[in-house]
Amino acid sequence: MSLVELIAQADERGLATSGLACLDRCVPLSGGDDDMLRPLWASLAEGGDQWRRDWGERVEQARAGFDATGLPEGDASAEGEAAVLAHRMLLAAPAECTADTLRTWADACSVAALQIHRLLDASDDGASSMTAHREGGTQDIPPLVAAELRRQIAILELLSAHGPTGLRQALDLSTEGRRVLRAVVSRRARGRV
């Protein structure tokens, strides 16, 4: 199944996890702390509908814990654009847990995360289409974008197959992706010195 199809079929918890995982991999690029989203992950792990009741409050806590003054104003570099996209994902997180709001957010986070990876992929020549990749096309896909696409698909498949018990593995995949992205940014910074 394509990423677009998986997002279309995901339930509310799967959508919240998908969006949160994209955000979790990318928000440290904009100066966010690695642990600032832990309360949201913990909320998703709660049984029943408790996560829905806690979600809005925990989104607000995450926003309050992020210092937007560290964002690079007017920075047209790939890193600057990536930081702004990551911050927008956090700002767009819905306080209300409905299928429609979460699906819109998860979809936007998916696109933003892929765009961030595309911005930071040194081998990207700009010839590929994010829309085509999300719909299952793999032609001309840059390696960093391909890895992010695989992560997004794997997380949605895990949650579809295992429900809330797949959250730990989803968090592990997200943490791995954050390390990869941080290493890419570090390599790019060394290349500019």
Residues 142-178: tens digit of each pLDDT: 889 999 999 999 999 999 999 888 999 999 999 999 9
Whole-number Å distance between alpha carbons of 126 and 56 = 37
- What Å distances lie between residue 157 and 115, 154, 180, CA to CA? 21, 5, 21
Tokens representing 119 are: 């911005």
- What Å distances lie between residue 77 and 14, 45, 180, CA to CA? 33, 37, 19
pLDDT tens digits, one per residue of 49-102: 889 999 999 999 988 877 665 565 666 788 888 888 998 999 999 999 999 999
**Residue type present at position 82:** A
> Between residues 35 and 193, which one has the greater pLDDT?
35
In this prediction the pTM is 0.89
The answer to whether residue 31 scores a pLDDT higher than 90 is no
